[in-house]
Structures are given as structure tokens and as C-alpha cells.
Amino acid sequence: MGQKDFFVAIASLVQDITQEEESNIQKAAVILAETVMQGGTLYTFGTGHSMGIAHEAVGKRGSLLKAKLLDEHIYNLARFERLEGLGPVIMKNHQLTNKDTVIVASNSGRNPLTIEVAEEAKKQGAKVISISAHDVKGKLPSLKSSGYYLADYADVAIDNHGDSSDLLLEIPGTDLKVGSPSTLTGIFIYYLILTEAVEIMVAKGFKPPLIKG
């Protein structure tokens, strides 16, 4: 077990995503392209390590000018991701419209906070794209009292092809595993969506409003 094993494992995941999520990536890209061309905003949300996926889409070279974090003023939401009722409170600070898109990332997709953010975003009229491990559903119960998962509230639900452990490599002679893929695959999925959306915009003669390097 070592770096080559991790490379092989993560490369396999990337290949699975590229092949098996192609249709969903295309659907998500169409939604995002329409949002941008209509003057809407891309919002992103994630807690814990999934916050890295949300951050990747905002404020860096090559990213959309109108991209914002839904939780930018709240520190360490991972402490509250299992708390029911917080999602609507956070979303009261936002007025989303049918021109907007929200990308919500959560490996398990079963924590109340991310589920509620997706639910409230849809109530406000926005399109929701989820990134989560669909393998979790049916193996681990939702922690939301309704029994729903993040993917249940998505207009496009993209599978990161991970599992509930979010670890790839077993350490020989122990009961431990190492090598979490979900942040890497989540960012990879985001860029698949973004680059495809940019291609759609260019094909329609629309200049993508990206932050310049």
C-alpha cells in the first residue's frame, strides 16, 4: 500500500465518474450555463471537508464572477451539520430566484443541514445540483427526520462514486483505512460541470464572465 495504490484507486474513481455521470454532468452544465446567461448567480454549500468543494468555485482565477458561498459568514458549520432546523435559518439570509443555481456537496448526503439547504434553495426557486456518494443511501439511514437525503432535493444528483467510509486503501494488518477521495472527486465534478457550461456558452456566442488570471 502506498502512493501508487492511491493513484490507481483515485484514477479508477475518476474514470467511473467521467463515464457513468456523463449525462448528469451535461444536464448540470446546461443548468449552470442558463443561470449565467440569464444573469443569475452560482451559490455553493458544503460543511466539513466538503466546504473545500464549495470554496473551489468561488473567487479564484477562471471561476465565475457571480459565484458565492451560502455560508461565507459562518465558521465551522461541521459542528452543526447534524442539527435540524438550521438550514432554513441560514437560507433566510438569501433571496434566491429561478435564475440561480446551487451546488451542494456532502459525501454522505444524509446530514440535515445540507439536506435543508437544498430543500430551501428549491423553495426559493433555484436549481439544485448535488454531489454525494449515492452508495450511502440504503446502507446508512438519513439523519433528517423526514428520511430524505440530499440527492432527493436535487434537480441533478451527481454520484461521486464513493462510499460511506470515504476512504480508499486498507492498511495491511490493521482495521484502518486511509486516502479520502470525496473532496478530490467533488472538485473534479465541479470542473467537469464548469468547463462543459463554458463550452455551451461559447457555442451560443456568449462570453463567459470568468475571473481573469
Q: Is the pLDDT of residue 7 over 80?
A: yes
Q: Is the pLDDT of residue 177 over 80?
A: yes
**Which pTM value belongs to this model?**
0.95
What pLDDT, on a 0 to 100 scale, did the predictor assign at position 80?
84
What pLDDT, on a 0 to 100 scale, did the predictor assign at position 83?
84
Separation CA 28–CA 157 (nearest Å): 9
As assigned by CATH, the class of the 3-203 domain is alpha beta
Q: Other CB atoms closer than 10 Å to residue 76's CB: what's the count?
A: 11
Quick: pLDDT tens for 147-171. Answer: 999 999 999 999 999 999 999 999 9
Separation CA 3–CA 116 (nearest Å): 38
Let me know if 185 is exposed, middle or buried by CB neighbors in 10 A (0-12, 13-18, 19+). buried
Quick: pLDDT tens for 13-47. Answer: 999 999 999 999 999 999 999 999 999 999 999 99
